[in-house]
Structure formats: C-alpha cells, structure tokens
Homo-oligomer: A and B are copies of this chain.
Amino acid sequence: MAKTHQRVGHLYVISGPSGAGKGTVCKELLRTHDVHLSTSMTTRNPRPGEVDGIEYFFVSHEEFEEHIANGDMLEYAKVFDNYYGTPKDAVLRHLKRGRDVILEIDVQGGLQIKKKMPEEAILIFLLPPDLDTLYDRIVGRGTESKADIDRRFNEARNEIKLIGEYDYYVVNGVVADAANDIASIMNAESHRVPERVSELIKLYDE
C-alpha cells in the first residue's frame, strides 16, 4: 500500500448539555472504532461499582489543587463542591503517537480546550433531537427533584446557545447513527490536506 506522511492524532471534544447522551454515544463509538477516550479526574466520591482509573481518576481536593497549580490539567471546573477535569499528560502522549483522542466533557470545558489548543482541537456538539426529548431524558434519570430537573433543563437550553463556538454538530436521535456521524467526522478530518503540504507532495516526487 501507499506510504503515508507522518501524522499526529486529532483531539476531539464531544460535548453537549446533559440529556444529549454524550456518555452513551461515546461508549458506542469506543465499541466500534479505534479511539482513545480520555479519563477525567474528579474529587467526588466513587459511586457503587465505579473503579479508579476507569470511570474517573478519584483524587483528594489537595491532590487536584496541586495538579492545577502544576499546570497538569487541560481543563477543569468546580461544580458545587467538587472538581472535575482532564489530565494533560495522557492526552498529549496519545496524540504524539498518532492516535485520535476523545474528550467527553461539558460545554464550558469544551470552550476551555478550544482556547488552549485552537489548532489541534475539533469540537463536536451533541444535540438532543428536540426539547421534549431533552426534557424526557433529564426526567428519565429519576434521581432528581422537580427543581433540579428544571434547573438542568434551563441550563441545557442555555448551553445550546453556545453551539456557534463549535465546529460540528450531531443530533443524537438514534445512538448508533450519532456514533457513525462522529466517526465520519473523524475520518473526514484525517483526510484534510495538511498545513505542511510538502511532506505529502514529497511522496509523489521522486
């Protein structure tokens, strides 16, 4: 087959409001495609069944703040009393090896990544099919009070207004379709003519 020019991986941010289905779609994408999903770090307690290093890296407040101070985090946020964030090291290591990396993070986190890595990051906004479905999905978790549900729903609607900052949007009606659309985007981006086109031309210049 063809020689190919050396490539670094792409960094994909998949975000969207709660109820868009980020978690489900990313799980499906991992099942069907060879990508690396970054594991986030948090100070919240593990829920029953959650394993350190799988769902999250679970650390203490002190550790997290040390990572922030050391510049180890690509992005982070404090939600109520807990920190959530993306450790930089593993992400950069996979990218250097030419592997695509996915960050499944909230909209604010996505915008932090865009600011920090405008060249590398490709931002995908996951949308629910419509507002009724969004509401049903938030209710469907069944763990929250009416007030919490309404707060989440309003937050979601406000977050959707930030979609103009994103590169692509995918509507998550059917999970497998949404995962395929994201895979298409990743495949297309890997076929973009690179900035440094000379390496590509050299392959056809004896």
Alpha-carbon distance between A2 and B200 when the two chains are bound, in angstroms: 41
In chain A, positions 121-169 with a C-beta closer than 8 Å to chain B are: 125, 127-131, 134, 157, 160-161, 163-164, 166-169
A127's closest neighbor in chain B, by CB? B204
Number of copies: 2
* Residue in chain B with minimal CB distance to A3: B130
Name 26 interchain pairs, CB-CB below 8 A, sorted by A. Answer: A2-B129, A2-B130, A2-B171, A2-B173, A125-B193, A127-B204, A131-B206, A157-B204, A160-B201, A160-B204, A163-B197, A164-B201, A167-B192, A167-B193, A168-B188, A168-B191, A168-B193, A169-B191, A169-B200, A181-B187, A183-B184, A184-B187, A185-B187, A187-B188, A188-B188, A188-B189
- Within the assembled complex, what's the spacing in Å between the Cα atoms of A163 and B128? 38
Interface of A is mostly: mixed
Measured CB to CB, the closest approach of chain B to A173, in angstroms, equals 6
